Amino acid sequence: MSTELSTGMPAIAIVLWIANVLVDSGGQLAFKAAAGDPDAGAGVARWKWMLARRWIWVGIACYVAEFVLWLSFLSLVPLSEGVLLGSINIVAIMIAGRYWFAEKLTRLRVAGMVLISIGVAVVGLQ
C-alpha cells in the first residue's frame, strides 16, 4: 500500500480486490459446508435440509456481496488486468480448503498455486 509497492492501482481498488478474495473464499467454503453435509440426505429432502440451515444462506449472501465488489473493482481496473488478478481466488480457496476440509495439497497442486501466485504478482506489481 506504500509507495514502494507501486502497483499503479488506486488504493480503493486494492481494498476491493482483497475484499473480493475474502468474500469469495468465504462463500465457497460455506457452499462446500452446505453441500458436503453428510446428514443432508438426497433429492428434494437434501435441498430442504440445506435451505433450513445456515451455510447455504451464508454462501448466497457472499455471492451478492461479491457481485457488487467485482463490479466496483472492474469500474477501476482494466478488464484484462482484473481477470488475471482475480486468479488469486483459486489459490485462496485451495488453501482455505486445506484448513477447513483437510483437502490434500499434492505436489502438482502446490506447483499450480505457486505459479498462479507468481503470475498474479507479476501482473499486479508491474
Partner 1 sequence: MRRFYLLGFLALMAFDTLAQISFKYAATQALPLEFSADWLLRVFGQPWIYGAFVGYIGAFFAWMTLLQHAPIGPAFAASHLELVSVMLLSVYLFDERIGPWQVVGALTIIAGIVCLALGEAELGGEAGDSVPPAPAHGTSSRTHADGHAH
The contact set with partner 1 (CB under 8 A) reads 20-21, 23-24, 27-28, 31-32, 35-36, 63, 66-67, 69-72, 74-76, 78-87, 89-90, 92-94, 97, 103-104, 106-109, 111-123, 126
Least Å distance, CB 107 to partner 1, is: 8
Using the structure block, give the residue that is written with the C-alpha cell 430442504: 48
Residue 14 or 97: the one with the smaller Cβ distance to partner 1 is: 97
Q: Please tell me whether residue 90 adopts helix, strand or coil conformation.
A: helix
Q: What CA–CA distance (Å, rounded) separates 38 from 29?
A: 15
Residue 48 or 67: the one with the smaller Cβ distance to partner 1 is: 67
In whole angstroms, how far apart are CA 1 and each of 36, 62, 108, 110, 114?
38, 25, 32, 27, 22
Residue 4 or 78: the one with the smaller Cβ distance to partner 1 is: 78
40: CB partners within 8 A, 6+ apart: 46, 49, 50
Least Å distance, CB 125 to partner 1, is: 9
Least Å distance, CB 102 to partner 1, is: 9
